[in-house]
Structure 1
Amino acid sequence: MSHKLQITRFGEVEHWTLNDPATRNALTDEVVAALAQACARAAQDTALRFVVLQGSGGFFCAGGSLGSFAQAIGQALPTGQTDPLMAMNAGFGHALHALCALPQMLLVAVDGPAMGGGLGLVCCGDFVLATPAAVFATPEVTLGVVPAQIAPFVHRRLGDRLARQMMLSGEKISAQQALDQGLVDELTDDLPAAVARRISALRGAAPGAVTHTKALLCMINQAPALDLPAQAAIKFAANLRSPEAAEGLAAFAQKRKPGWAA
């Protein structure tokens, strides 16, 4: 297991902590793989009842890391080649689906920024708790990038109108706004205590019934969209290779407005 995803166990509860404060807990390939591995293990663990996903260092998750994609930004794919970006991007989509499919209750505890892919993680939670310092956004379109893999999860959590507003504007929303919109279920100044209280209250739900209920919900949510990771990866890869993405990401790095916003 990656040291960038720390897992601690307390009886029937595991805490999965994104632990790379230097990158604001960005979703590198290593972290995504570790999340997928943790989900696969937890899916077979009948003694585990609750998973708490959280960040460290005052951040939840800054979103996807473009490190492995850097050489492809703004570059056309050579004719006849299968785009490697598609498999890498789809891997994150499969990790999100695995989080939603966990047989355990998934509590997401948010302190600090939850951006892009980080918001996707939030939207996988059965229950989302946050501090007033939490802030949420899907800034991809302002960078010339598509919020490809997170789109179905944001849409599922917020509904069509609010999901469109978030993903098409890229604007940040505060913790209070997130509570008002239903993205967050509870605001608290003491996140660990609030998580403990919530778990205590949820212990009245029978583990087997929870597992089957979550499986049924997963079937309902995924039935019409089983190929979404692949379709989203196609759009992500095509867009990342475009001049638009090159301009948007360069503008962000240079702290200036991209050409289309000037």
Structure 2
Amino acid sequence: MSGRLLRARDGAVERWTLDHPAQRNALDDEMVRALLGACADAAADTSLRFVVLTGSGGAFCAGGHLGGMAALVGQPPGEEQTDPLLALNRRFGDLLHALCALPQVLIAAVDGPAMAGGLGLVCCADFVVATPRAVFATPEVTLGIVAAQIAPFVWRRLGDATARQMLLEARRFNAGEAVVVGLVNEMADKDLEATTAALIAHLQRAAPGAVAATKRLLHTLATHAVKDVRDEAAQAFATSLRSDEAREGLEAFAQKRIPRWAP
């Protein structure tokens, strides 16, 4: 079953809920396309002021859904065709850029795991609210895969040292640690929705036009600071997923054992 995106509007606030709890709201291509469509709608909607991105079923997002790519793991691409992994991964990169370019304030409301690509979504938010159950990690390198599209956004949000901990060490951060490193802005000790609503009420003091203009300036600064590597990232991801390392890493994960990396 493909994932779904639920959209609910309440005045100037729209809530986007990743709704595939059986897969911990993993991002398949349908979900990515739905989010891109939501971003396009929001970019053209001057009456919308806030977007809240969240997940259902006690998880935010487990990252990319590799089920449809299982047959490609460890296999070379065909000789006379464009690697389908390139377009799939590039589209996810387009989503990250579209989220960052939203004129509205984007709030990530995180309950449970935000892993891999899910962490990438979090790093695109202007503000992040999390419950004590939230956990953040990028485990890709332990699976023989490159966290290619999200790397610039993790680096931009957290800085070089912490980004290296997440991307190279695959270190997990609980909600409290995420507050300390600046990934989470506010802890929701009791009610995630109430805490998010209180944040929105506070942010409504700002003029929407001024917010949109400020976000455009910040996005321009960020674009200058971080090179657009969507195409290079797609190639790095595709190459890593088709490698022997990915085959071994994903098999080891499924079998709950330590990977046996080649020297």
Query: What TM bracket, shorter-length normalisation?
Result: over 0.9
Separation of aligned partners in 1, 2:142 and 2:69? 18
Instruction: Give how far 1:223 is off.
Output: 3.0
Alpha-carbon contact 2:156-2:226 (below 8 Å) kept: no
Matched to 2:26, the amino acid is A
Structure 1 portions without partners, runs of 5+: none
Identity of aligned residues (%): 62
Separation of aligned partners in 1, 2:17 and 2:185? 20
Separation of aligned partners in 2, 1:55 and 1:3? 11
Matched to 2:71, the amino acid is Q
Alpha-carbon displacement from aligned partner over 1:47-73 (angstroms, at most 9, x marks no partner): 000000001111000110112221211
Q: TM-score, normalised by structure 1?
A: 0.96
Alpha-carbon contact 2:21-2:57 (below 8 Å) kept: yes
Farther-moved stretch of structure 1 (218-227 vs 243-252)? 218-227
Structure 1 segment 112-191 matched on structure 2, within 5 A: 112-189=112-189, 190-191=191-192
Equivalent in the alignment of 2:242: 241
Alpha-carbon displacement from aligned partner over 1:223-244 (angstroms, at most 9, x marks no partner): 3556411110010011111100
Equivalent in the alignment of 2:95: 95
Separation of aligned partners in 2, 1:173 and 1:60? 15
Closer/same/farther in 2, CA of residues 3 and 143 from structure 1, 3 Å limit: closer
Separation of aligned partners in 2, 1:157 and 1:134? 18
The number of equivalent residue pairs is: 261
Separation of aligned partners in 2, 1:54 and 1:236? 26
Separation of aligned partners in 1, 2:241 and 2:84? 12
**Cα RMSD for the two superposed structures:** 1.6
Closer/same/farther in 2, CA of residues 136 and 3 from structure 1, 3 Å limit: closer
Instruction: Give how far 1:171 is off.
Output: 2.0
Separation of aligned partners in 1, 2:26 and 2:85? 18
Equivalent in the alignment of 2:76: 76
Separation of aligned partners in 2, 1:73 and 1:116? 17
Separation of aligned partners in 1, 2:226 and 2:203? 30
Alpha-carbon displacement from aligned partner over 1:167-192 (angstroms, at most 9, x marks no partner): 10112111000001100001112111
Q: TM-score, normalised by structure 2?
A: 0.96
Separation of aligned partners in 1, 2:86 and 2:147? 14
Equivalent in the alignment of 1:197: 198
SS state at 2:261 partner: helix
Separation of aligned partners in 2, 1:41 and 1:136? 29
Structure 2 portions without partners, runs of 5+: none
Alpha-carbon contact 2:116-2:139 (below 8 Å) kept: yes
